[in-house]
Amino acid sequence: MAIDGLLREERYCEALRASFAILAIDPWSIEAILGKARSLIGLGEYEHACATLSTGMEATDSSSHEMVELLAVAEQLKAQSTTGDFDQPLRAYFSSAAFRTESARAGGVSDGAFVFSEIPVAPMAEFLGEFQCAPSTLHGRGLFATKDLEAGDVIFATKPIGIARGGASLKQAVLEKAKMPRVAELLQYLPGGNSAAASLPVSLLHPSANLEDYLDDDGHEEAAGLERVVDAYMAAGHKSVCPDNVLWPLLTLINHSCIPSVTLRVVGTTLFCRAARDLKSGEELLVSYYGGSLKSRLTSLIWPSRPEEIIVCKCRKCELETKIPVLYPYPGVGKCIRRDDVERMCLMEEFVLHNDFSSEDKQVVRSGFAHHYYTGGRPCVYVRVPTAEVVMEAVLRYGCTGGFNSCLGLQSRLLRHATDKAAARELLLQSCITHFGQALARELLVRVEYGLGHF
């Protein structure tokens, strides 16, 4: 198959080998130089791609428009991969007429499945910020910040190992990538792998920088038995963490909390993880699994579920809920309580006066119910005017679901009709920062306020 065909199918290793084969015969082939550079960009080897194009332009004495343009792209990706600055491509994405007219689900996560927008997305690099994998007190292992972070900071931007496309299965796509030694070793750290209980070395997430790793087409012994890794991933059953059409390795390492510390958002096929609030070095990166097929203990009381679907969450909110006599001891699957009863109990005056809870604890518990005001677009009977903390909890709790877009949509309408514009503007700004970062959030806010765009 021609190099262009391999690139279209994202078979970058094969395209790279084909380019090397042509260059061995004709070192000045512009087509092969371009093919090699595009293959390296697809593999995340941005520095090698820049060097290939610069050397190629010098050796061929050529400054063709195509080579100059591709070099500019490679240099931009190289900068993104080191700085984590994605404002330019994200601004173009959210400014597009297609995004403003498409469903609110575009580029987000809805119904527990990661939705890939059909809107064209500018090339974006992979970025790995300051974090590490280490043992977690919540569950097994997790991801932890290794430096102080501000709300909206990009922690990582990662591309999937495999995507099920055009009739091909996810397993086929992943096992094709597993021919590379680094990817094969990386997969062994996922559930079902030989090193599933160990902390993943972040170095395995970086491109290998050794081009020889991409040129061996015989496969590797490490890839043997990796089918069970993919099978374990697809059998996990939790679509918020294990969507069955794509595999981002880092996604499987983030633990759940009903009070999340990070937000996730998909743009194109790139998964962005940002700090949902200011984080201290050493804090665990946690995301709300709400929206998948699994249910928290309290949600299971309201909507009965099978035992295997219940999350035994140890976050602060869930631990506080276990101290509420009306809810616990747990009555068992199939014995549900009415949601209105839960709301009334948690939001009524007698709970506010409950002596066993501090005022901060009460706010944490209450916020878990008041989010109904935002997701359903209806006022909760017992919370006429939700506090800023409740709004932010709702936005974060629904940060990985289509409910997030509903939250922002409602906040946008509230802003346009608010009496206190400054307070409403600040509230929406803080919500936007958690998903889009400081600069882009301010720009989006202006558009929303003046009716130039929407979420």
Tell me which of 135 and 309 has the higher pLDDT.
135
28 in any annotated domain = yes
Q: Are 214 and 312 within one domain?
A: no
Greatest mean pLDDT range, 210-219, 287-296, 326-335, 360-369: 210-219
DSSP states along 117-147 = P-S-------EE-SEEEEE-SSSSEEEEESS
Q: How far is CA 182 from the centre of its chain?
A: 22
Of 33-42, 123-132, 144-153, 295-304, which gets the smallest average pLDDT? 295-304
Q: Are 303 and 424 within one domain?
A: yes
Predicted local confidence at residue 377, as pLDDT: 42
110 — pLDDT class (breaks 50, 70, 90): very low
Q: Are 183 and 38 within one domain?
A: no
High-pLDDT (> 90) share of the chain, %: 20
77 in any annotated domain = yes
Report d(CA 342, CA 347) in Å as an integer: 8
Predicted local confidence at residue 287, as pLDDT: 83
Q: Are 328 and 435 within one domain?
A: yes
Tokens of 164: 């099920």
Q: Are 339 and 237 within one domain?
A: no
Predicted local confidence at residue 49, as pLDDT: 94
Average pLDDT for 358-377: 58
Q: Are 238 and 380 within one domain?
A: no
pLDDT (tens digit per residue) in 53-101? 999 888 877 677 889 999 999 999 999 999 999 988 888 877 765 555 4
Residue 292 has pLDDT above 90, yes or no: no
CATH number for position 65: 1.25.40.10
400 in any annotated domain = yes
418 — pLDDT class (breaks 50, 70, 90): low
Pick the last residue of a domain from 83, 98, 121. 83
Tell me which of 117 and 192 has the higher pLDDT.
192
Q: Are 300 and 242 within one domain?
A: no
DSSP 3-state assignment of 75? helix
Burial 367-385, CB ≥16 within 10 A → b, else e: bbbbbbbbbeeeebebbee
Of 164-178, 281-295, 401-415, which gets the smallest average pLDDT? 401-415
Yes or no: say if 20 and 35 are a contact pair by the CB < 8 Å rule. Answer: no
Q: Are 308 and 397 within one domain?
A: yes
Tell me which of 305 and 101 has the higher pLDDT.
305
410 in any annotated domain = yes
Beta bridge partners of 340: none
Please work out, in degrees rounded to the nearest 5, the angle formed at the alpha carbon of residue 73 by the alpha carbons of 82 and 76: 25
pLDDT (tens digit per residue) in 6-35? 898 888 888 999 999 999 999 889 999 999
Neighbour tally for 161: CB within 10 Å: 22
DSSP states along 232-280 = HHHTS--TTT--TTEE-GGGGGPEE-SS-SEEEEEETTEEEEEESS-B-
Pick the last residue of a domain from 56, 83, 110. 83
Report d(CA 86, CA 123) in Å as an integer: 10
258 in any annotated domain = no
Tell me which of 148 and 238 has the higher pLDDT.
148
Q: Are 352 and 418 within one domain?
A: yes
Domain of residue 345, residue span: 295-449
Nearest to 445 by CA among 434, 429, 433: 429
Tell me which of 189 and 240 has the higher pLDDT.
189
293 — pLDDT class (breaks 50, 70, 90): low
Q: What count of Cα atoms within 13 Å lies in the side-chain half-sphere of residue 249?
A: 26
High-pLDDT (> 70) share of the chain, %: 62
Q: Are 307 and 441 within one domain?
A: yes
Q: Are 422 and 336 within one domain?
A: yes
Nearest to 304 by CA among 347, 337, 268, 333: 333
Predicted local confidence at residue 437, as pLDDT: 85
Tokens of 5: 């065909």
Q: Are 328 and 443 within one domain?
A: yes
- Quote the number of domains for the chain: 3
259 in any annotated domain = no
273 in any annotated domain = no
101 in any annotated domain = no
407 — pLDDT class (breaks 50, 70, 90): low
Predicted local confidence at residue 334, as pLDDT: 46
Yes or no: say if 454 and 444 are a contact pair by the CB < 8 Å rule. Answer: no
Pick the last residue of a domain from 247, 272, 287. 247
Beta bridge partners of 263: 274
Amino acid symbol at 40: L
Report d(CA 31, CA 3) in Å as an integer: 9
